[in-house]
Amino acid sequence: MSEDEPARTDPRSVRPTALALLVVAGAAVVSLPILRPLASTSMPAPTPFSAASPLGTPDGHRAGSRSAGGAVRDGVTVFDDEVPAVAELDPDLLQALREAAADAAEDGVAFHVNSGWRSPAYQDQLFGQAIAEYGSEEEAARWVATAATSPHVSGDAVDIGDSEATAWLSDHGAGYGLCQIYDNEPWHYELRSSAAHDDCPARYADPTHDPRMHTARD
């Protein structure tokens, strides 16, 4: 070979070097950790928190059981027989409510029950909460009766929700014997059968003026 000719590389000497580099690179790739997106990680779904009610279920509703307490969920109507707060009402009161509700529906008004029949335990619970809220038994009694005095416990009272419904009852309730009993509770209705002919009796300012409350307590 002359001095003017460039040196030639033996191709047999290049091949092992190139193969060695490929092997090293491949090993590096294999040794890299396999990364997966966090979304693909399988995690158990969290369990929803549900506080057990002292009355049985979280909303106090247990079909067909007087131990359910009488609490109701939103949307309950006077036609919901599976709800104890409705089913345990006095039959005559319930019939009057359903007749009135059917007629009110023709005017586009729905009767929703905020409260109806209540167990003695539930009534006492509500009275205790009222004492805590209003600061004394005397002030609480203006809004909530004891289990010994409440017409809810006997199934003789119902609280109708929605101002549209109570306005309808204010105009038409007497014709069904459904009367507002207390000035401070426009939602509280009881049956006074004579009201269909004689109109509803004068209302009490609040439950503390109702003789039934004092008689039962004494």
Q: Are 184 and 205 in contact (CB under 8 A)?
A: yes
Taking the CA of residue 198 as centre, how many other CA atoms within 13 Å lie in the half-sphere pointing to its CB?
Answer: 5
What are the pLDDT digits (tens) for 25-64?
444 434 444 333 333 333 333 322 122 233 333 333 333 3
- Rounded to whole angstroms, the Cα distance separating 44 from 113 reads 39
What are the pLDDT digits (tens) for 56-85?
333 333 333 444 599 999 999 999 999 999
Does CATH number 3.30.1380.10 belong to domain 66-217?
Answer: yes
Q: What is the pTM of this model?
A: 0.69
Cα 66 versus chain centre, distance = 19
Q: What percent of the chain has a predicted confidence (pLDDT) above 70?
A: 67
What six digits make up the tokens of 28?
């590096």
- Rounded to whole angstroms, the Cα distance separating 70 from 84 reads 6
- Domain ranges for the chain: 66-217
b/e burial code for range 144-168 (CB count within 10 A of at least 16 → b): bbbbebbbbbebbbbbbbeeebbeb
